[in-house]
Structure 1
Amino acid sequence: MALDEVWRGLDGVEALSGPQGGPLRRTVKLILDPLVIRPVQHPLCAGTVLCADGVTLLTSLVLAHSDALRACADWFTVLKQVRRALRITEGNAQDLYFQRCFELATVHGTPGLDGRARAEATLREIHDSTGGRTTTALKAHVTEPNRLVELTALLDLAWRRRPLSDYGARDLSSALTELLEASTLARDGDPADAGPLLDELIEDQVGTHRGIALWRSHPADGADDLGLTVHTCPQRPDLGASASTANLGLPFDRTVYERVFTVLQGSIDRTDLPGIPELVTTEISRSCSPWGLLDESLRVTAAAGCELALGLSPIGAPFPSPRANSRAALGHGADARAGGMTAGSEGGGTAPDSGPSRAHEVVNSRWRREAYVLQARRYAVHVVDGATGPLAAVAAELHTPWRPYLRRLWVRLHGRDVREMPVIEPGELWDLLDGVARSVILDHRARVKQALTSMGEHAAAEARAS
């Protein structure tokens, strides 16, 4: 709310503002946080609730960049005008141009007589980097009649050839939790022997086995319980021919088109990606593979992330949670390791009952310190059943934190898989898993902040009306 207040005191930034006058979410995400406030460099500005010194510092930072922000808004207006003139429709203008506009504002100030020429050069630079890998080309590729028949047959074949075995939903949970523990220690410089453990789990295809298990129905911790599909068992993906970032399906329910579409939309430079035909055919194979991933190290990362996620409890009971106890009562999985290695007493079954791992303690303790979590806990106590709205949605997600966590983790792993970026080191694995947790926390924080701002504006409007 402090940011909202100082922003409303600026003039000439309407192009970066919402209908109510506050900064757009993308303005905060793409410009203010990384380029102006820089909370990593200014910890006083990093919290959800700022102290007096934090408010003063945040205000001074925004005001110090006020000229650049006004020029940024002017550049964005010019770029949108030139974009329309060039009949460019590819991508979201805010995602593609906000940071480039701030760069133009910092280097050149407000647009001058050569503003339209600079804007056109910037647009051509951005959009020429696609190398023909556009959503328009994607749609044309998958809808061409003869190719549509060919790709559908390929999809049917890949789905029929899935490896199906009777693995348990939590096979080798102890080994994966051990990997989490060792990875956090390795990241902090402890000489834990995490590298050989990661290599062993990759060699034994533990991630593949856990992914295969998610193709079957389970009383608990199945793909539907994890928030990866709306179905009891994942269904054969459709080829698809349209997508909207505001209305994407859950990870295992996405069409091949949606999966490739999100990769294209999330790529600043698409020339490092394969061509559209290869992207589509590879994605067909990937969508019919365990976890919807091809690389084994990423599958192991997904399985380890699943173990981490199922032990998260930002507002719930201490580990093991009541949900964990109910899972334990349902029994364990069967043999999971390749080559006959078992998931019994050696390391399989449900999460250990000895207490939380260090990885769980790190993430849970950080999450529980969030002011919005304390507010959500109070909200959950007093809210009536069936309540709706942004605060109710956040409160609900805090009761099932593994779902938003695993959805976001899958998106990141999918992007790495497309770009052939395996996980090599245990420290890298932990950075990835911990980064997803931080991302979920920041997303919740932003949604709560926006909800409180809207509630405050509504209350102020009612007060003025009365």
Structure 2
Amino acid sequence: MLDEVWRELDGVGALSGPNGGPLRRTVKLILDPLVLRPMQHRLCAPSILTADGVTLVESLLLTRADTLRACAAWFTVLKQTRRALRITEGNAQDLYFQRCFELAVVHGEPGLAARSVAEATLREIHESTGGLTTSALKHFVAEHDSRLRELLDLAWSRRPLASYDPRDQARPLLELLDACTLFNSGDPADAGPLLVEAMQNRAGTHRGIALWNADATEGADELGLSAFETPGQPGIGASASTATLALPLDRTIFERVFTVLQASVDRTELPDLAELVTTEITRSCAPWGLLDESLRLAGALGCELALGLAPIDGLSQPRERVGVGDDGPSRAHEQVNGRWRREAYVLVARRYSVHGGAGPLAVVAAELRAPWRPYLRRLWVRLHGRDVREYALYEPGEVWDLLDGVARSVMLDHRDRIRRALTVDGRSIEAKAS
């Protein structure tokens, strides 16, 4: 529905994908937080909109149409100026989308002074890196390679190994997971004490340590966090690319720090480069690859949620003993699975699962048969980002918002990939017909 309204707007090509719909980052960085604001406009929040929700989304987009056109124009100007200034650092969409919206609100369409405004904006953005650039990271790692390897060997040798089983904390974790969903529904009685108890019992740490133990059914490889059943010591690394990143627990120190830099709009909030790298070495050798106990617990809770997901009813089954107790599926799994199964693209993926096929649709269908893998990979990335910035989780509601938000993010990603694939298929059919 969002795509349909978006295609009615003219002059927003710089914010649109090849199929004419909004780019994923347009939705994430501009439409959701700045235009639709689902926390303020509750009718815009559900993945399946009511008739009133559809009307509200259309109204909000059309009301902001001039601003969105100006935003697209400013983005074009900033990209042209970026090339002229020979700036290559960072992803232009991540760094500039929200600033372009701000420029559109303040200035409207770019005018005669657009070039000077763009230059000032770019210098402000890129001077906020505080020396934390990919080039600086490469230089630091190359210069201190021997010392960094010594630190990594030492940290790896000091890992807290123990023979924990992945299922040791399953029942209390599921109880806490359901309590977290109730916390956001106005019934917070049990969630707080259960969260404190799980933290005191170090349930997240124990589950993370279990990832270093070989396990045929819930090893790091089966969970989608590593290419190996037992993840090995990470390397230091010397380069990275977003297109070729290893799985979370297999990433080099360079890759881990690189992703932090890429995701940071204001890098002055981060520690200096030496601290960033040495702390990452310590973090990479900790359970879950995380230092904060509340974030490790979120990882453990995410496992329990992920392994009970079954978006394609009857084909993708929740894992044995996970998410299903004596009374049937847990509240958390019913909530996420119910929303996922209502997604129209799941029906398309189901047909591919039954009848076979190849291409992007088949890839999404395969992910939906083992949904815990894309879910846990995305969860780990968010937890790692919070850990670097020392954003712990203190409230059960925060925990559920994070876990549920990751599920929504995976759904949106699948929906976008299905839409693009169907658009390409449709164009191919039209081309052949003509």
- Give the structure-1-normalised TM-score: 0.85
* Structure 2: distance between partners of 1:21 and 1:301: 37
The answer to whether residue 355 in structure 2 is matched with residue 355 in structure 1 is no
- What amino acid is aligned across from residue 369 of structure 1 in structure 2? R
1:54 Cα deviation from its structure 2 partner: 7.2
Alignment partner, residue 109 of structure 1 = 108
| Counterpart contact for 2:179–2:188, Cα < 8 Å | no
| Counterpart contact for 1:48–1:372, Cα < 8 Å | no
Shift of the 66–352 alpha-carbon distance from structure 1 to 2, 3 Å rule, reads closer
SS of the equivalent of 1:324 reads coil
Alignment partner, residue 176 of structure 2 = 179
Matches within 5 A, 1:28-67: 28-36=27-35, 62-67=61-66
The answer to whether residue 397 in structure 2 is matched with residue 407 in structure 1 is no
* Structure 1: distance between partners of 2:338 and 2:366: 19
1:72 Cα deviation from its structure 2 partner: 2.2
Give CA-to-partner distance per residue, 1:400-437, whole Å, 9 cap, x none: 11111111111111111111121112222112111111
The answer to whether residue 362 in structure 2 is matched with residue 389 in structure 1 is no
Shift of the 172–41 alpha-carbon distance from structure 1 to 2, 3 Å rule, reads closer
| Counterpart contact for 2:19–2:420, Cα < 8 Å | no
| Counterpart contact for 2:238–2:254, Cα < 8 Å | yes
Higher relative contact order (CA 8 A, sep 6+): 1
The answer to whether residue 218 in structure 2 is matched with residue 221 in structure 1 is yes
Give CA-to-partner distance per residue, 1:344-398, whole Å, 9 cap, x none: xxxxxx9645422111111111111111122222332222xxx322211111111
The answer to whether residue 361 in structure 2 is matched with residue 372 in structure 1 is no
Deviates more, 1:391-400 or 1:82-91: 82-91
* Structure 2: distance between partners of 1:134 and 1:272: 14
Matched length: 434
| Counterpart contact for 1:243–1:258, Cα < 8 Å | yes
Deviates more, 1:229-238 or 1:4-13: 4-13
Alignment partner, residue 426 of structure 1 = 396
| Counterpart contact for 2:15–2:22, Cα < 8 Å | yes
* Structure 1: distance between partners of 2:397 and 2:55: 37
* Structure 1: distance between partners of 2:76 and 2:428: 29
- What amino acid is aligned across from residue 192 of structure 1 in structure 2? A
1:194 Cα deviation from its structure 2 partner: 2.1
Deviates more, 1:190-199 or 1:300-309: 190-199
Match of 1:167 among 164, 167, 186: 164
- What amino acid is aligned across from residue 214 of structure 1 in structure 2? L
Matches within 5 A, 1:266-345: 266-317=263-314, 321=317, 323-324=319-320
SS of the equivalent of 2:242 reads coil
1:93 Cα deviation from its structure 2 partner: 0.9
1:284 Cα deviation from its structure 2 partner: 0.3
* Structure 2: distance between partners of 1:414 and 1:139: 21
Alignment partner, residue 191 of structure 2 = 194
Shift of the 429–160 alpha-carbon distance from structure 1 to 2, 3 Å rule, reads same
Deviates more, 1:51-60 or 1:23-32: 51-60
* Structure 2: distance between partners of 1:43 and 1:456: 34
Shift of the 224–35 alpha-carbon distance from structure 1 to 2, 3 Å rule, reads same
1:186 Cα deviation from its structure 2 partner: 2.1
1:99 Cα deviation from its structure 2 partner: 2.1
Give CA-to-partner distance per residue, 1:127-153, whole Å, 9 cap, x none: 122211222211111111xx1000011
| Counterpart contact for 1:170–1:221, Cα < 8 Å | no
Give CA-to-partner distance per residue, 1:254-313, whole Å, 9 cap, x none: 111111111111112222211110010000010011110111111111111111111111
1:206 Cα deviation from its structure 2 partner: 1.6
Shift of the 58–183 alpha-carbon distance from structure 1 to 2, 3 Å rule, reads closer
Shift of the 124–166 alpha-carbon distance from structure 1 to 2, 3 Å rule, reads same
1:61 Cα deviation from its structure 2 partner: 5.0
Shift of the 351–234 alpha-carbon distance from structure 1 to 2, 3 Å rule, reads farther
Percent identity of equivalent pairs = 69
- Give the structure-2-normalised TM-score: 0.91
Alignment partner, residue 334 of structure 1 = none
The answer to whether residue 72 in structure 2 is matched with residue 73 in structure 1 is yes
- What amino acid is aligned across from residue 123 of structure 1 in structure 2? L
Shift of the 88–104 alpha-carbon distance from structure 1 to 2, 3 Å rule, reads same
1:63 Cα deviation from its structure 2 partner: 4.8
* Structure 2: distance between partners of 1:267 and 1:65: 27
| Counterpart contact for 1:16–1:27, Cα < 8 Å | yes
Shift of the 257–398 alpha-carbon distance from structure 1 to 2, 3 Å rule, reads same
Structure having the higher Rg: 1
Shift of the 133–246 alpha-carbon distance from structure 1 to 2, 3 Å rule, reads same
| Counterpart contact for 1:79–1:119, Cα < 8 Å | yes
Alignment RMSD: 2.7
Matches within 5 A, 1:10-21: 10-19=9-18
* Structure 2: distance between partners of 1:195 and 1:110: 50
